Amino acid sequence: MSDAVCAVVVTFNRKELLRRCLHSLLQQTRPLDCILVVDNASTDGTLSLLDAEFPFLKQLRLNKNIGGAGGFRAGMQWAYDHDYEWVWVMDDDIEVLPECLDTMLTWQHIGDVIQVRKQLSSGPLVWEGIWDASLASAITYVRDVSFANGKKWTAVQYCNFEGALIRRIVIERAGLPDERYFIAGDDTIYGFVASLYSRVIYVDYVGILKKAAVLGAPRSRISFYLETRNRFLNYEHMVKNGVPLSRGLFLLRIFMFGVNNLMQAVRSKTNRVQNIRAVIEGFHHGLRGRFGPPPWITSQS
């Protein structure tokens, strides 16, 4: 099997995290055939960093911030157009262990989208889950059940763009990520669609470090907005791909979810008014089919 790999790293205003991510990619025991950095119009000196320290890497400079979803769409399209067999997608806030790519490629006889476990400062991140179709959302288990039961890998119907290795044929069949998500859920639903055309697997190997993650950290305005609104996009994709969902049941469930989100926003210790408004806007815009960048980002661009 061909194993030419292009790593696609999407970044926005996190140059120090990006530096560590890129160094970890350059230390792979199986050298990458290409590293492409997709910059979402950073303003923190990211471009100067790339020019000074990583001039040998490919760059795709976007003229405005189109979010992680738009960045991954652009980067995956570039890698596909340049005939790479595999695209290794990741945000700028992860580091990969030196043998990570080598290990992932040993599973290419089984998976077309290959994903491995992530480690936080508190330990391995629990990530295995299942779809709640009536809410059009993936739910994470309390532990990685398949691995606890002795399996070395398991087929899944979701994806995570923090280190997913995607075969070219998946892009041919399932297409590219939906840029309307901006961030939040674009990768999860991409894994669902990809699983209808190929095998998406999750492997019991901790190969990714996510040092920037802080469990229990206060939620942001954009989180309140997108976690409500983007479920409407999930519903759209699931129905489009043949899942027999009840619109009425979905609206009831998303309303209940929105109320719960609203209560969390009310309890916010900072930016309470903005967070409450974000939940209401998220529900309203999702109901009306208004997707893309959050409105306050659009108004500032």
Identify the band that residue 90 occupies on the pLDDT scale cut at 50, 70 and 90.
very high
Q: What percent of the chain has pLDDT over 70?
A: 95
Handedness of CA 202, 207, 208, 211 (dihedral sign): positive
Model confidence pLDDT, tens digit, residues 141-163 = 989 999 999 999 999 999 999 99
> What is the Cα–Cα distance from 137 to 256, expressed in whole angstroms?
13
Summarised one tens digit per residue, pLDDT across range 58-72 is 999 999 999 999 999
Q: What is the pLDDT, as a whole number, of residue 46?
A: 93
Residue carrying structure tokens 């489009």: 240
> pLDDT by residue (tens digit) across 239-275?
999 999 999 999 999 899 889 888 888 887 778 888 8
Contact 170, 87 (CB under 8 A): no
Average pLDDT over residues 124-137: 90
Q: Inform me whether the pLDDT recorded for 301 exceeds 80.
A: no
